[in-house]
Structure 1
Amino acid sequence: MSEKHLQTGDVLPPYSGKLRVFAMRFCPYAERTVLTLNAKNIPYDLVFINLDQKPEWIFNFSPKGTVPALEYEPGKALFDSNIINVYLDEKYPEIPLQASDPLRRAQDKILVESFAPAQSAYYTAAFNAQALEPSMVETYHKGLEGLQKELETRSTKYLHGDEPGWVDYTLWPFLERFEALPLIGKAEFAIDKTKYERLVTYIEAMKNVPAVKSYFLAAETHAKFIESRAKGDANYNMLDTSAVCCMRPRKKKE
């Protein structure tokens, strides 16, 4: 699979008949859908999009040009990771990822919502050059503390249970990126094992989950992308080895 991100003027690759995900390699929301597909062993194709120079055809699949978008039939697509992932779990029930108990499903959704402020704090810390407000750091750690408390309360290896599920694959992409913050000079966002022992154990376990491992990027890689984006020149193709020798496809002449 090429890691190249298609951009304005690039031709839409032909549809293979598999589900097709339009994504950006460093987008945590797109990663949620990739992990869901991986966990459920559903065949799919990936098309990466340059979000600064979007190809014209992405708006046929996602009205705002956001990712992820899931093409489930030729020319027909869903967008928004939460909508896509619930659809996938219900459409392909062989490996269920949502909790079977309605109350636990509701609790999982509440947990995801309550973690959102920590995610917002991450974006501010990563891409805002201005000095951070102490309240932003507090919000971030409050999210981590809440997640650790939930892990302790549930007393299971993963939030879903003995195996990871929807709630784990929804939260994980941000935890993966959180580890990059100290590498870009944001030491106050470090996940200290002495304070977050249960959470760190969970993070290390998630890294070894097959669905995660096949798409995982190290903190150093995320840090490099964050730095490039913060400078205003996001290096979308930093992982694409084919970009060195291959020219991007051009728009057909009329």
Structure 2
Amino acid sequence: MSEKHLQTGDVLPPYNGKIRLYAMRFCPYAERAVLVLNAKKLEYDLIFINLDHKPEWIFNFSPRGTVPALEYEQGKAIFDSNIVTTYLDEKYPENPLQASDPLRRAQDKIIVENFAAAQSAYYTAAFNPQALEPSSVEKFHKGLEAFQAELEGRGTKFLHGDEPGWVDYTIWPFLERFEALPLLGKSEFAIDKTKYELLANYIEAMKNVPAVKAYYLSAETHAKFTESRNKGDANYNMLDTSAVCCMRPRKKKE
């Protein structure tokens, strides 16, 4: 799989019959869809999009030009991370990722909704630090505390149970990125393992889940991309090695 992000003027690759996901490698919302595809063990193609210089054809699949967008049949697509992930879970019922109980499904969605304040604080800290206020830090930690309380209350390894489910894969992409904040000079957003022991254990467990491990990026990598974006030149292709030419070093003349 190439990590190259296609941009304005680039040609849409030919459709080969697989479901196709349009994403951006560093987008947490797109990662939600990738994790569900991985967890469902579905075959799919992944096309990365440069969101600053979007290829013209992305609007055929996502009217706002946002990702993720899922091309489920040639030329037919749906978009929005929650819509895409619930569609995939319902379309392919093997290995269900949502709770069977309607009340538990509703409670899972409430957890995701309540976690949005922590996500918003992350975006401010990472990409708009001049607008950062003490209330942002407070909202961030309240979100972590509430999440840890849910883990404690459910008493299971993951929120879904012994294995991660839709609720875990929906929230995880942000937890993955939260670890980059101290590297960006935002030590007040550090996840203190003494205060968040249960959450810290959960984070390490999620890193070892196959669906996550196959797509996981380190805190250092997320910090590097964030810095490039904040400088006004987001390095979308920092992971792409497809254009690297491997040449043997020339021997020095004696």
Tell whether the structures are fold-level matches, with TM greater than 0.5. Answer: yes
User: Which residue does the alignment assign to 1:39?
Assistant: 39
User: Which residue does the alignment assign to 2:28?
Assistant: 28
- Match for 2:238: what amino acid? M
Q: Secondary structure at the match of 2:150?
A: helix
User: Which residue does the alignment assign to 1:121?
Assistant: 121
- Match for 1:166: what amino acid? W
User: Which residue does the alignment assign to 1:63?
Assistant: 63
Q: Secondary structure at the match of 1:21?
A: strand
Partners of 2:170 and 2:126 in 1: CA distance: 20
Runs (4+) of structure 1 moved beyond 3 Å?
none
C-alpha deviation, 1:190, in angstroms: 0.3
Normalising by the residue count of structure 1, what TM-score does the alignment of the two structures yield? 0.96
- Match for 2:135: what amino acid? S
Partners of 1:41 and 1:244 in 2: CA distance: 30
Query: Residue by residue, what CA displacement relative to the aligned partner does 1:130-149 show, whole Å, maximum 9, x if unpaired?
Result: 15210000000000000000
- Match for 1:16: what amino acid? N
- Higher-Rg member (1/2): 2
C-alpha deviation, 1:244, in angstroms: 3.4
Partners of 2:32 and 2:16 in 1: CA distance: 22
User: Which residue does the alignment assign to 1:75?
Assistant: 75
Q: Which has the higher contact order (CA 8 A, sep 6+)?
A: 1
Q: Secondary structure at the match of 1:9?
A: coil
Partners of 1:185 and 1:202 in 2: CA distance: 24
Q: Secondary structure at the match of 2:98?
A: coil
User: Which residue does the alignment assign to 1:9?
Assistant: 9
Partners of 2:231 and 2:174 in 1: CA distance: 21
Q: Secondary structure at the match of 1:100?
A: coil
- Match for 1:39: what amino acid? A
Q: Secondary structure at the match of 2:63?
A: coil
C-alpha deviation, 1:129, in angstroms: 3.7
User: Which residue does the alignment assign to 2:103?
Assistant: 103
Q: How does 1:151-162 map to 2 (within 5 A)?
A: 151-162=151-162
Q: Secondary structure at the match of 2:14?
A: coil
C-alpha deviation, 1:177, in angstroms: 0.2
Q: How does 1:158-177 map to 2 (within 5 A)?
A: 158-177=158-177
Gaps of 5+ in 1: 246-254
User: Which residue does the alignment assign to 2:179?
Assistant: 179
C-alpha deviation, 1:90, in angstroms: 0.6
CA contact (8 A) 1:237 1:243 kept: no
C-alpha deviation, 1:242, in angstroms: 1.3
Query: Residue by residue, what CA displacement relative to the aligned partner does 1:94-126 show, whole Å, maximum 9, x if unpaired?
Result: 110000111100000000000001000000000
CA contact (8 A) 1:4 1:243 kept: no
- Match for 2:106: what amino acid? A
Partners of 2:131 and 2:163 in 1: CA distance: 40
Q: Secondary structure at the match of 1:41?
A: coil
C-alpha deviation, 1:61, in angstroms: 0.2
Kindly indicate whether residue 131 of structure 2 is the aligned counterpart of residue 138 of structure 1. no
- Match for 1:148: what amino acid? Q
CA contact (8 A) 1:89 1:96 kept: yes
Q: How does 1:215-234 map to 2 (within 5 A)?
A: 215-234=215-234
Q: How does 1:200-215 map to 2 (within 5 A)?
A: 200-215=200-215
Q: Secondary structure at the match of 2:225?
A: helix
Q: Secondary structure at the match of 1:70?
A: strand
Between the two proteins, the alignment pairs up a number of residues equal to 246
C-alpha deviation, 1:25, in angstroms: 0.1
User: Which residue does the alignment assign to 2:252?
Assistant: none
Q: CA RMSD in A?
A: 1.0
C-alpha deviation, 1:82, in angstroms: 0.3
Query: Residue by residue, what CA displacement relative to the aligned partner does 1:189-220 show, whole Å, maximum 9, x if unpaired?
Result: 00000100000000000000000000000000
- Match for 1:29: what amino acid? Y
User: Which residue does the alignment assign to 1:249?
Assistant: none
Q: Secondary structure at the match of 2:89?
A: helix
Q: Secondary structure at the match of 1:241?
A: coil
